[in-house]
Amino acid sequence: MDTTANSDADSRPPASRSWQRFRRSPSAWIGGGIVAVFVVIAWLAPWITPYSIRQTSSADRIAEPPSREHLLGTDQLGKDVLTRVMYGSRLSLLAGVISISLAIALGTPIGAVAGYFGGRVDSLLMRGIDVALAFPSVLIALLVAASLGASWWAVVIAVGLINVPVFARQVRATVLTVAQLDHVLASRAFGATWWHIVWRQILPSLTSPLTVLASLSLGTAILEVAGLSFLGLGGDLTVAEWGAMLTIAKTYWSSNVWLALGPGLAISLSVLGFNLLGDALRDALDPRSDASLL
């Protein structure tokens, strides 16, 4: 009976085994559920928020603590904090996706070229990456955002750039391994161009590690974007964005700490969700986990 079960498990395609591991992971369900909730809120915010994003309360209800009418209270303009947190998920999630996409777009070619060609090309590119990693990422982000001017796009670009070395090193490590496989060496021997080898044989091998790294990095990117916005580099503080909301909340911490609860909790939960989802993807896509199915 055990032999039959093991044979059935081994005969399944790798994608099927990965999906089975992912489906059985509690982290996948919890993390995926948290992320899905935020995505749905961001998508349906205009229809599910308790108030309009522009609606304000009377002068006597400014910076008010939570109440039956306003579950998370009101801000300095009398706007409902829960409504602003729900709308803030749009910019915050979008900032994370765009910044990590930028990091992948820049880091993947650098790592692929360095890993495939090796030698002086590898040394030159990796020494540049090492220099970038030698500086604190927050300092680099501050310099980039300050040079571009305080705006949401400047923060997104800054966060994307500080994540480029992370993806470049991951891609390089994967390419170094894949480039020594038999089918890649055979393609070289038959005279295949480097572009054909990289595009057809090496890049498909990057899908799994990049997917895992991107899912783990999204939470970090959201936190970094919120941090830079909190420092005042996000531009307009009246825009519904979690970091900007925390910037305003610090003015009222002594009298109304509830203003920071909503955006702070949203940031923490979103980071937790992406981290759990990334952990589940890493375990599911790891071929060494196949033994757990036997």
Phi-psi map region of 293: left, alpha, beta (phi>0 left; psi -120 to 50 alpha): alpha
> What are the boundaries of each domain within the chain?
2-293
pLDDT tens profile 78-104: 888 889 999 999 999 999 999 999 999
Which DSSP string corresponds to 226-249?
Answer: HHHHHTTTTS-TTS--HHHHHHHH
pLDDT tens profile 97-148: 999 999 999 999 999 888 888 888 888 999 888 888 887 777 888 788 778 8
Q: Is the pLDDT of residue 67 over 90?
A: no
For residue 214, the model assigns a pLDDT of 92
More confident call, 275 vs 64 = 275
pLDDT tens profile 182-202: 777 787 777 777 777 777 778
The answer to whether 280 touches 289, Cβ cutoff 8 Å, is: no
Average pLDDT rounded to a whole number, residues 171-181: 84
For residue 32, the model assigns a pLDDT of 92
pLDDT tens profile 146-167: 788 878 888 999 999 999 999 9
CB-based burial label for 192 (10 Å; 0-12, 13-18, 19+) = middle
> What is the domain class of 2-293 according to CATH?
mainly alpha
Q: How far is CA 203 from the centre of its chain?
A: 21
For residue 10, the model assigns a pLDDT of 54
pLDDT tens profile 250-261: 877 776 777 888
For residue 60, the model assigns a pLDDT of 56
For residue 34, the model assigns a pLDDT of 95
Quote the mean pLDDT of the chain.
Answer: 83
pLDDT tens profile 202-240: 878 888 889 989 999 999 999 999 988 888 887 777 788
Q: Is the pLDDT of residue 292 over 60?
A: no
Tokens 């996409």, residue located: 101
Return the closest-CA partner of residue 137 out of 109, 165, 110: 165
pLDDT-derived band at 70, boundaries 50, 70, 90 = confident
Q: What is the three-class DSSP state of 55?
A: coil
pLDDT-derived band at 7, boundaries 50, 70, 90 = very low
Q: Could you tell me the pTM of the whole model?
A: 0.85
